[in-house]
């Protein structure tokens, strides 16, 4: 295949650079996604199951419906992590309206390998027929955030944990290593069985390397031995390169 | 996204911190691929007002189908197929909605302000060019030139014969070339008038 015409290639390259979403968008979409992850089969989930070997039976709500349910119900300021940057996102009026405007989309989930899409004509529903946000949904969400002996659990807890991790990573990014370590440890105390434990541990390890603490290199080496294939391992290798070398030399 | 291929991507998402609900895995996948998927979905003809929701849907499906992921291919390759199909459904749904709106003569959503368009001229040009393609050509072209997929990868993702991929790609390029010339002429006339 011949190479693309240079002008077209330039437009693609520059267009894609301009298409990059801001952190607030990334945070907003993640917040909606996290709201929909647990309790599939519930109000925000897919009642048709998740395995998805073949076309899911019947029409399922789109991301919009679930997102609207979760977010409209709570109208919260969701603060989530985005690539190490914590971003506060308050759902504003126009955004909520936009979500509402596309609430009536009906689609069918199809498998990736199927070439032809089966589209089900949306049922003739009126806006009044669209399930509204109910008090029970709010209650479910609230219940999910209860505190247990293993720490906070549920979607709200994951959101909070993600936010805490963002703060710790942001501190690390600013070179405030002591703060990063402290934030990571505080996160560990708050979420002892948290779902982002590995990421939290990586921040702590990197922070200790930044502080040039005694044993930081050994800690980094231990982390890499245990989680060398994890995505965060690259971060530890990069931030702890010097400490790892020292540790190696000391042996 | 820093370029068409997304420099943040390692192509692999560790499954190590797996929990019964798979949440950490999807969060990790999201962190790595969000910007890429977001830009990809937008270029696949999803209306700008729906790009966020469509992107969310892509990751939700990825999460639901996580058990099928065995690591033979990268998550990104998997995301291509999901993104194309979700975007296709969104486009179809948007067209049905637009047809209904037209029936009851409701006004279309307002266009973004000109200042925003001017600030993102390259993106405006790119999307206008892509809009000149029929859906089948657009999907193949975007996967090839935006996502950087090879012809066999595109054939697999879209369930097409590889010769069909090459054919659509060739047609898309020809059509885009003509559309680019029209766009240049249009812009030249606009600046001349100004």
- Round to whole Å and give the CA distance between A29 and A74: 15
Residues forming beta bridges with residue A89, ordered by sequence position:
A78
Which residues does chain A have within 8 Å of residue B28's beta carbon, measured at their own beta carbons? 231
Residue B57: what pLDDT? 93
**Domain of residue B140, residue span:** 110-194
In a shared domain, residues B80 and B153 = no
Both B93 and B181 in one domain: the answer is no
pLDDT top residue among A94 and A24:
A24
Q: CA A200, CA A161: separation in Å to the nearest integer?
A: 9
Best-predicted range by mean pLDDT (B53-67, B95-109, B114-128): B53-67
Which CATH number is B121's domain given?
Answer: 1.10.10.10
**pLDDT attached to residue A147:** 36
Chain A, nearest residue to B65 by Cα: A51
| Domain match, B47 and B80 both | yes
Strand A85-90 and strand A77-82: the pairing is antiparallel
Residue A59: predicted pLDDT: 30
Q: Does the beta-carbon distance from B93 to A234 stay under 8 Å?
A: no
The closest alpha carbon to B81, from A23, A211, A59, A113, belongs to: A113
In 3D space, the residue among A238, A210, A207 whose CA is nearest the CA of residue A224 turns out to be A238
Q: What is the pLDDT of residue A208?
A: 93
- Please indicate whether, in this complex, the C-beta atoms of A112 and B157 are within 8 angstroms of each other: yes
Query: What number of other Cβ atoms are within 10 A of residue B111's Cβ?
Result: 9
**Same domain, residue pair B62 and B122:** no
Measured in residues, chain B has a length of 194
Give the pLDDT score at B103: 66
Q: How many domains does chain B have?
A: 2
For A11, the closest of B35, B55, B122 (CB atoms) is: B122
Say yes or no: B163 and B94 in one domain: no
Give yes or no for residue B65 having a pLDDT over 80: yes
Q: Could you say which DSSP state residue B113 is in?
A: P
A residues 183..212 contacting B (CB < 8 A): 195-198
Report the range of poorest mean pLDDT among A149-158, B77-86, B133-142: A149-158
The reply to whether B125 and B96 lie within a common domain is: no
Contact B64 A106 (CB under 8 A): no
**Pair A57, A46: CB distance under 8 Å:** no
B106 SS3 class = coil
Element at B183 (helix H, strand E): helix B162-193
Instruction: Determine the average pLDDT of the residues in A227-241.
Output: 80
Q: Residue B74: which CATH number?
A: 1.10.1740.10
The answer to whether residue A158 scores a pLDDT higher than 50 is yes
For residues A91 and A148, the answer to whether their CB atoms sit within 8 Å is: no
Domain final residue, candidates B67, B85, B106:
B106
Query: In this predicted structure, which of A123-137, A182-196, B50-64 has the lowest mean pLDDT?
Result: A123-137
Q: Which of A18-32, A68-82, B22-36 has the lowest mean pLDDT?
A: A68-82
pLDDT above 90: residue B175: yes
- Exposed, middle or buried by CB within 10 Å (0-12, 13-18, 19+), for B5? middle
Please tell me the predicted confidence (pLDDT) of residue A40: 43
* Number of other residues whose CB lies within 10 A of the CB of residue A114: 14
| Amino acid A58: pLDDT | 29
Question: pLDDT tens digit string along A159-169?
Answer: 778 778 888 88
Integer angstrom CA distances of residue B92 from A105, A107, A122, A182: 10, 9, 11, 50
CB within 8 Å of chain B, chain A residues 132-151:
none
> Are the beta carbons of B81 and A113 separated by less than 8 Å?
yes
How far is B94 from A205, CA to CA, in rounded Å? 48
Are the beta carbons of B39 and A16 separated by less than 8 Å? Answer: yes
| Mutate which: A15, A150, A161, vs B, most B CBs within 10 A | A15
Q: Which two tokens stand for residue A128?
A: 């009044």
**Neighboring chain A residues of B68 at a CB cutoff of 8 Å:** 51-53
* Of the partner residues A17, A117, A198, the one whose CB lies closest to the CB of residue B88: A117
CA distance B124 to B68: 37
pLDDT at residue A38, as a whole number = 60
Instruction: Name which residue leads in pLDDT, A42 or A199.
Output: A199
* B53 and B125 fall within a common domain: no
- For B170, left (φ over 0), alpha (ψ -120 to 50), or beta? alpha
Give the one of B14, B53, B85 whose C-beta lies nearest to A62's C-beta: B53
- Return mean pLDDT, chain A: 62
Which tokens sit at A26?
């990334």
Helix (H) or strand (E) holding B136: helix B135-141
Q: Chain A 113-132, CB below 8 Å of chain B: which residues?
A: 113-117, 119, 121-122
Q: Across residues B46-69, what is the average pLDDT?
A: 88
Q: Which residues on B lie below 8 Å from A36 (Cβ)?
A: 56, 60
Q: What was the pLDDT predicted at B54?
A: 93
pLDDT in tens, A62-73: 333 333 333 333
Q: What is the band of A7 on the pLDDT scale with cuts at 50, 70, 90?
A: confident
Question: Do the Cβ atoms of A50 and B64 come within 8 Å?
Answer: yes
Which tokens go with A43?
A: 């109000």
Distance from CA of A206 to the nearest CA of B (A): 18
Same domain, B96 and B36: yes
Q: What is the pLDDT of residue A199?
A: 84
Contact B16 A83 (CB under 8 A): no
Predicted complex: ipTM over 0.85: no
Residue B47: closest C-alpha in chain A: A102
Domain C-terminal end among B49, B81, B106: B106
Give per-residue pLDDT as tens, A78-104.
333 343 333 323 233 333 333 333 333
pLDDT at residue number A251? 75
- Shortest alpha-carbon distance between residue A19 and chain B (Å): 6
CA-to-CA separations, A145 to A91, A135, A140, A154, A158, in angstroms, rounded: 21, 16, 9, 5, 9
Domain termination residue (choose one: B106, B136, B162): B106
- Is A21's Cβ below 8 Å from some Cβ in B? yes
B101 shares its domain with B115: no
Task: Give the pLDDT confidence score for residue B71 in this predicted structure.
Answer: 65
Q: What is the mean pLDDT of residues B11-26?
A: 55
CA distances for B5 relative to A138, B143, B144, angstroms: 40, 11, 11
Query: Which of A125-134, A203-212, B22-31, B156-165 is the least confident region?
Result: A125-134
Q: What is the Cα Rg of chain A in Å?
A: 22
- Per-residue model confidence (pLDDT) at position A182: 93
Q: Are both B48 and B114 inside the same structural domain? A: no
In DSSP notation, chain A reads: -PPPPHHHHHHHHHHHHHHPPPHHHHHHHHHHHHHHSTTTTSTTS-TT-S--SSPPSS-EE-HHHHHHHHHHHH--EEEEEETTEEEEEE--HHHHHHHHHTTT-EE----TT-SSPP-PPPP---GGGSPPP-HHHHHHHHHHT-EETTEE-SHHHHHHHHHHHHHHHHHHHTT-HHHHHHHHHHHHHH-TT-TTHHHHHHHHHHHHHHHT-TTHHHHHHHHHHHHTTSTTHHHHHHHTHHHHHHHHHH-
* Residue with tokens 């936009």, as numbered in its chain: A98
Provide the pLDDT confidence category of residue A44 given band limits of 50, 70 and 90. very low
**Rounded average pLDDT over A36-41:** 58
For residue B146, what is the nearest residue in chain A, using CA coordinates?
Answer: A12
Q: What is the DSSP string of B68-93?
A: G--SSS-HHHHHHHHHHHHHHHHHHH
pLDDT grade, residue B102 (50/70/90)?
A: low
Q: Do B123 and A38 touch (CB under 8 A)?
A: no
Per-residue confidence (pLDDT) for residue A231, from 0 to 100: 67
Per-residue pLDDT, B21: 53
pLDDT for position A16? 86
Average of per-residue pLDDT values in chain B: 79
Residues B90 and B145 in one domain: no
One domain for residues B115 and B101: no
Closest by Cα among A223, A63, A235, A156 to B54: A63
Tell me what pLDDT residue B31 has: 86
């Amino acid at each position: 295949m011949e190479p693309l015409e240079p002008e077209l290639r330039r437009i693609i390259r520059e267009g894609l650079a301009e298409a990059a979403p801001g952190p607030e968008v990334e945070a907003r979409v993640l917040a909606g996604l996290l709201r929909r992850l647990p309790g599939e089969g519930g109000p925000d989930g897919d009642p048709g199951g998740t395995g998805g070997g073949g076309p899911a039976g019947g029409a399922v709500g789109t991301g919009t419906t679930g997102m609207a349910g979760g977010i409209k119900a709570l109208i919260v300021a969701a603060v989530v992590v985005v690539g190490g940057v914590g971003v506060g996102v308050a759902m504003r009026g126009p955004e909520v309206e936009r979500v509402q405007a596309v609430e009536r989309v009906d689609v069918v989930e199809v498998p990736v390998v199927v070439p032809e899409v089966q589209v089900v004509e949306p049922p003739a529903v009126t806006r009044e027929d669209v399930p509204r946000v109910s008090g029970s949904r709010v209650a479910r969400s609230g219940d999910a955030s209860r505190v247990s002996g293993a720490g906070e659990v549920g979607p709200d807890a994951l959101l909070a944990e993600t936010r805490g991790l963002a703060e710790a990573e942001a501190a690390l990014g600013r070179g405030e290593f002591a703060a990063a370590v402290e934030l990571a440890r505080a996160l560990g105390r708050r979420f002892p069985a948290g779902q982002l434990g590995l990421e939290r541990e990586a921040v702590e390890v990197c922070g200790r390397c930044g502080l040039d603490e005694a044993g930081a290199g050994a800690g980094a080496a231990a982390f890499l031995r245990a989680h060398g294939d994890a995505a965060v391992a690259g971060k530890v290798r990069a931030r702890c390169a010097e400490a790892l070398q020292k540790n190696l030399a000391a042996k | 996204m820093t370029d068409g291929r997304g420099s943040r991507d390692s192509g692999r998402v560790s499954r190590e911190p797996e929990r019964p609900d798979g949440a950490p895995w999807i969060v990790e996948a999201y962190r790595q691929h969000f910007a890429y998927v977001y830009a990809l979905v937008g270029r696949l003809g999803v209306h700008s007002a729906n790009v966020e929701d469509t992107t969310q849907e892509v990751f939700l499906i990825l999460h639901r189908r996580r058990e099928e992921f065995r690591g033979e291919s990268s998550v990104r390759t998997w995301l291509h197929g999901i993104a194309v199909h979700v975007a296709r459904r969104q486009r179809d749904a948007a067209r049905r909605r637009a047809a209904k709106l037209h029936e009851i003569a409701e006004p279309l959503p307002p266009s973004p302000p000109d200042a925003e368009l001017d600030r993102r001229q390259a993106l405006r040009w790119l999307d206008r060019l892509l809009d000149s393609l029929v859906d089948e050509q657009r999907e193949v072209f975007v996967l090839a030139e935006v996502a950087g997929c090879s012809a066999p990868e595109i054939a697999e993702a879209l369930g097409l014969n590889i010769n069909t991929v090459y054919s659509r790609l060739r047609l898309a390029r020809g059509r885009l070339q003509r559309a680019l010339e029209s766009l240049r002429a249009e812009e030249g006339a606009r600046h001349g008038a100004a």
